[in-house]
Chains A and B, each alone.
Chain A
Amino acid sequence: MAQEGLLVSAFYVLVFTAMLIAYRVVRGQTLPDRIVGLNTITTKVVVIIAVVSVMREEYYLIDLAIVLLMVNAVGGLILAKYMERRALHD
C-alpha cells in the first residue's frame, strides 16, 4: 500500500540527515559542536526506531525508544556538567 512506501521514504530521509550531521560530529571545531551533533543524532535514532516499529508492526520496539531517549537526557546533562567542571579547573 502507499503508506508503506511513505514510511520507507521517511526512514531513508532520517538516515540521510543523520549522516549529514555525522560530518559535524567528526570535524567539529570545538567540543560543544560535537555534543550538539551527538544529541541531535540520538533524537533522530529514536524517531528511526519508532518508524521501524510501525513499519514492521513490532510494537515492543517503542519501549526501547523511550529508554534510549531517557539515556540521551542523562548523557547530555552529564556532558554539560563535564564542560562546566573542566573550564573551572583550567
Chain B
Amino acid sequence: MIEIILLLFGEAVMVFGALGILRFPDVYTRLHAATKCDTGGAMSIILALILIMDAPAVVRAKFLVLAFLIAMINPMVSHAIARGAYRYGVKPKVVVDMYAWDNP
C-alpha cells in the first residue's frame, strides 16, 4: 500500500515540475522547480520500486546507491548551473538581488 502512495506522489511531483519548467518566467525560478521537484520525485519513485520488486538484496542495494547518488549529484549540478548562468550574464527578474550585493 505504501509503495503505491509513494509511486503516485512521485508521478505528481514530476508532472508539477514539468509544468513549472514550462510556465515560470526566469532561468532561476525554472531551476528551482526543476531541481527540487526532480530530486524529490526521482527518489520517491526509486524507493517505491525498492518496495515493489522481489529481488535479491544486492539489487536492492544498487537501487539505494542510485537514490543516494541522485540526492548528492542533482543539487550540486543545479548549483553549478545557477552560478554559471549568473556569470554568463542572465539577470534574475526579481526585486532583491543579494548575489549582486555580495559580489559587486
Contact = CB atoms under 8 A, between A and B. Distances in A.
Chain B residues touching A, majority SS: helix
B65 A87 contact: no
B95 to A, nearest CB: 21
B70 A69 contact: yes
B14 to A, nearest CB: 5
Interface residues of A, number: 50
- Which of the four size classes fits the interface of chain B? 35 or more
A84 B31 contact: no
A43 B27 contact: no
B100 to A, nearest CB: 15
22 contacts: A3-B52, A6-B7, A10-B10, A14-B11, A14-B14, A24-B30, A30-B85, A30-B90, A31-B88, A39-B77, A40-B21, A40-B34, A46-B42, A47-B45, A50-B45, A54-B49, A59-B62, A77-B77, A79-B81, A80-B77, A80-B84, A84-B84
